[in-house]
Chain A
Amino acid sequence: MNWSSWISLSRIFALMVKELRVLFRDKRTRFVVIGPPLIQLLIFGYAATFELKQAPIAILNQDRGIISQEIIGRLEGSDSFEVVAHLHNQQKVNQLINEKKALVVVSFPMDFSSRLLKDGTTDLQVIVDGRNSNTALLAQNDVAGVVQTFNQLWAEQHNLKQPPITLVPRNWFNENLENNWFFVPGIVALIVLIVSLLITALSVAREREEGTFDQLLVTPCLPIEILIGKSLPGMMVALLESNVIILIAIFWFDVPFRGDYWLLQLSMMFFIISAIGVGLMISSLSTTQQQALLGAFMFMVPAVILSGFATPIENMPEVIQWLTYLDPMRYFLVIVRGIFLQDVGMDVVWSQIWPMAIIAMVTLSMAGWLFRHRTA
């Protein structure tokens, strides 16, 4: 068999060195790769609130009185909530929150009604899943809203000066409900996506524009070699940058890091390779860098919105929810938030890694095929 039909490591190495040189010898590309991600991290690090609809809520009612029933009725009637379970003991609460079956558990203590009737005041405990601090905060506010309406009515009827029910909030995983905790790990995902996409989306298109791609295609290089030669440098740069961002998240934004660092690196590699696949595919379809840039943004914006970065996927219409399965960021977001705030294990991570691996395989093969078969 002839040597040139086999993959050659020295050719791949030459391609990688070339790719890194092209990336870093030019001032402008150097800036595009390094500048914007850091700026984005700082801007997004301090951001936004959102609206809540049909949040899953569970009710633990140990009270025998009638007043709890009235509040439950009001919660059930609210558009913000959907009551998913009525519980009878404390153990179930842990399970529901851990498995994300409920975002909020409203817990009525045994003496809820009797204390209110006797003392005029009583406590209501609200347990919120703090991993998503945005939604948690919103959920807590919405529960408070319902309780407040009841409070006003009850106070008027019974001529009380103080609000009768006091909310006792408990945020699990994120005790102080710090917005950043939830948001910053998401930004890590966002920036990894942007960097890997931009580096690769421009690479083939730039070579087409400058005529070097033809020059490359007439060499004995196989498409798979070009693919690896273009993917690995992108992977290296993206990994390096995302680790810088992770460090900033931990030390600047004080986000706790509870999980396994190496597990995060492993998942990040899969995420990056899937983003690189998409980037190379867009690049292979484009004839100019401008087209490639437009293409990258056409992918990036929906990918971010559909990932659950800003709004929970569960709140999206069902058809749109199906679409999110095509979005690699959706999977990585679960991992990065899980590892940062929760110390999730391999079982959770694996269930998110394999879909990213499939996306990577499909997009990379498409890109490799397009290298040689793009005609017009």
Chain B
Amino acid sequence: MSNSTTPLAVQSLNKCFVLPNRKIEALSDVSFELKPGRVTGLIGADGAGKTTLMRLIAGLLQYEEGEIRVLGLDVATQSLAVQSMIGYMPQQFGLYQDLTVRENLSLYADLQGVPEHTRAERFEFLLSMMGMNAFYDRLAGNLSGGMKQKLGLACTLVKAPQLLLLDEPTVGVDPVSRRELWQIVYQLVEKEGMSVLLSTAYLDEAERCDDIKLLHEGKLLAEGPPKKFSEAMLQRTFLVSHPQLSKRDLKKQLDTLSMVKDALIFGDALRVLTQDSIDSTDVLSKALEKSSGMTGYQIEPVAPRFEDAFVDRLAVQEGEVAGGDSNQSAFSSTQLSSSQETAEQTTQGPAIQVKELVCKFGDFVAVDHLSFSVERGEIFGLLGANGAGKTTTFRMLCGLLPATSGHLEVVGLNLRHARAQARAKLGYMSQKFSLYGVMTVEQNLAFYSQVYGLKGKQRQERINWAVETFDLQEILSQNSHDLPLGFKQRLAMACALMHEPDILFLDEPTSGVDPLGRRDFWDKINALADQGVTIMVTTHFMEEAEYCDRMAIMASGSILSLGTPGEIKEQEGVSDMEEAFVRIVQSGKSRKAPDKEDTSDDEEEAS
């Protein structure tokens, strides 16, 4: 059992939330212990129960059943004592935007009763670790997203805690700042000997932890060091490509093979997870050749990732991936369009054409003479660090922001002159659920169909199509605000596709969604692209970048690199998209303005 040296012990923990029409089991029968002096990752998708667990541990929520002991103390009865020994950084850390960095630190030092004479030294130690000691007198509101997160961490650490709880510290932070945050966490463990519990929805961060607790739908699915997870996946993961086949056609072939558990578009190839370990790639290529009657498949083994293990476990748990598969085929057979009009484009030329696009906010140039074009039926990704201008560009493309100057054409229509017509041809889905929460699913569908000008029989057909394709029948009369996350996303997609758009704009559509949900979503997106719909994605999430046909990496308002995910990785000579991204952005910065790195702009964050 736990003693006072165990930083955290959780025993048979249960927690429910009751909503008017449904009960959510946020956590059920969760038990685990934390090893001292380690970084433990609490990994799970949005809605898995990570934040609830964090808040329970910090004594901010009460639990019904079970026991939580922090450093030997019972959280339920000694929450004040516990709170004085731990540091807790919530997702939205309460920085005071109008106070300087130093004032924020002093405020938290006051709140935590840190003695006056130790402060200067402590602040200096923390800020130099964060690489921020030049910014004592800057207002917190003027820091970049990554730096705000670091300052939040520093404020949590003004009094050295024995257990540090970090709730999704890397969410919405670009890959460059994300790396720095991880380095800081490890330095802390080393220098202060504290234990850290860090939650994240980014599965690729699992490999950075010493130990992993995998949470899924309120249950502890698995635990152990990352190695343990990946070892079970040895000889089961491969990259498959074929010079003549498009990656989407190749995926269709792979999905029919019973030995393939998971086939995921990954850059210019497909990442395959087999049911069982196979000794040689020949086994897979023979199976492929046999089923398709083609030859020339290129197959190479790759190192397993944490995500493979997660998918493996989930698939077993949810009774085979088959569920996702049948869903996907249902989607493609129903077709996006009931009239078949979308596939035969009336006008020719690229779906999106941008020439010399400029956007200024006062003196600040957010987008600087940008030019590129996107072909019809292409999945195009727009990536960049915080403040690089990608959100601004994205918003201009879907008509949410007027351009300062330049030419902007969407499906052959000029966004300056024919805005309403152009908007009728595009669909938009943001990362945040943005439908009317107090209205029911049915009312939301009715509203969007009317607003997009659908009438009479056609309107009814499209609503039926949406209900059928996205399986919404049972929840039609529920308020959309109370829906589980997965349903919300399906509803949002249904509303965005109601009017059969030619272009679909997606803003970080699947960050935080569990891997099966993400696959399901992207299967639908791929089916749409096959039908000729152009997809425009903006994201921080490197996994999503791999699903794109082509992508652009932006910094300081211009494009630094443009090409297929494979080309971009090749240019930088790395196999990892995040590594390629970091290199491109850093070399771009050193080229452009060597010491301007931190004068961050945050025009995007404000919007």
Contacts and interface: CB of A to CB of B under 8 A. Distances in A.
Given A5-B421, A26-B438, A215-B428, A10 B401 contact: no
A212 B439 CA distance: 12
A218 B438 contact: no
Interface in B424-479: 424, 426-428, 430, 432-439, 443, 446-448, 450-453, 455, 479
Interface string A282-303: 0000000000000000000000
Interface string A352-372: 000000000000000000001
A10 B451 CA distance: 8
B421 A375 contact: no
A373 B603 contact: no
Contacts of B400: 214, 217-218
Nearest to A229: B451
Given A18-B436, A18-B447, A215 B453 contact: no
Interface string A201-222: 0000000001110111111111
A376 B402 contact: no
Interface string A1-24: 011110010110111011001100
Nearest to B437: A210
B485 interface: no
Contact of A17 (B418, B423, B430, B447): B447
9 contacts: A2-B421, A5-B418, A14-B447, A21-B436, A214-B434, A218-B423, A220-B421, A372-B402, A375-B607
Q: Max chain A CB contacts within 10 Å: which of B402, B428, B450?
A: B450
Nearest to B452: A219
Contacts of B453: 3-4, 8, 10-11, 220
Nearest to B451: A219
A210 B435 CA distance: 8
A22 B427 CA distance: 23
Nearest to B507: A214
Contact of A375 (B401, B438, B495): B401
Given A18-B436, A18-B439, A218 B361 contact: no
Contact of A218 (B398, B432, B435, B446): B398
A25 interface: yes
A212 B607 contact: no
B452 A220 contact: yes
A219 B426 CA distance: 8
A15 B399 CA distance: 20
Given A2-B421, A218-B505, A375-B607, A212 B450 contact: no
Nearest to B492: A215
Contacts of A11: 450-451, 453
A10 B399 CA distance: 22
Contacts of A2: 418, 421
Contacts of A3: 453
Given A218-B400, A221-B420, A375-B361, 17 more contacts: A4-B420, A4-B424, A4-B453, A11-B450, A11-B451, A11-B453, A21-B443, A26-B438, A214-B428, A214-B430, A215-B430, A215-B495, A218-B423, A219-B423, A219-B424, A372-B402, A376-B606
Interface residues of A, number: 32
A37 to B, nearest CB: 22
B581 to A, nearest CB: 26
A34 to B, nearest CB: 16
A212 B451 contact: no
Given A14-B450, A220-B421, A375-B607, A21 B430 contact: no
Q: Which 10 A-B pairs give the minimum distances between C-beta atoms?
A: A211-B434, A14-B450, A218-B428, A220-B424, A25-B438, A4-B420, A220-B420, A26-B438, A215-B434, A219-B451
B63 to A, nearest CB: 28
B412 to A, nearest CB: 13
A374 to B, nearest CB: 9
B435 A215 contact: yes
Contact of A25 (B430, B439, B446, B603): B439
B435 A212 contact: yes
B423 A376 contact: no
Contacts of B430: 211, 214-215
Contacts of A375: 361, 401, 607
B451 A14 contact: yes
Contacts, number: 93
Contacts of A219: 423-424, 448, 451-452
Q: Max chain A CB contacts within 10 Å: which of B420, B421, B437?
A: B420
Contacts of A211: 430, 432-434
A40 to B, nearest CB: 26
A52 B327 CA distance: 79
A10 B606 CA distance: 34
B449 to A, nearest CB: 8
A348 B344 CA distance: 64
Contact of A10 (B418, B421, B450, B607): B450
Contacts of A4: 420-421, 423-424, 453
B436 A22 contact: yes
Nearest to B366: A375
Contact of B399 (A13, A212, A218, A373): A218
A5 B420 contact: yes
A218 B426 contact: yes
A69 B436 CA distance: 74
A187 to B, nearest CB: 31
Contacts of B421: 2, 4-5, 220
A372 B402 CA distance: 8
B428 A212 contact: no
Interface string B231-244: 00000000000000
B434 A212 contact: yes
Contacts of B437: 210
Interface string A152-171: 00000000000000000000
A8 B452 CA distance: 10
A22 B402 contact: no
A11 B443 CA distance: 14
Interface in A70-116: none
A291 B606 CA distance: 14
Interface in B324-378: 361
Interface in B181-202: none
Contacts of B607: 375-376
B420 A222 contact: yes
Q: Max chain B CB contacts within 10 Å: which of A13, A210, A215, A372?
A: A215
Nearest to B417: A5
A221 B439 CA distance: 20
Contacts of A216: 451
A4 B421 CA distance: 6
B600 to A, nearest CB: 15
Contacts of A373: 402
Contacts of A376: 361, 603, 606-607
Contacts of A217: 399-400
A212 B361 contact: no
A25 B439 CA distance: 7
A328 to B, nearest CB: 30
Contacts of A18: 436, 439, 443, 447
B451 A221 contact: yes
Contacts of A372: 402
Interface string A229-273: 000000000000000000000000000000000000000000000
Q: Max chain A CB contacts within 10 Å: which of B361, B433, B451, B455?
A: B451
B167 to A, nearest CB: 22
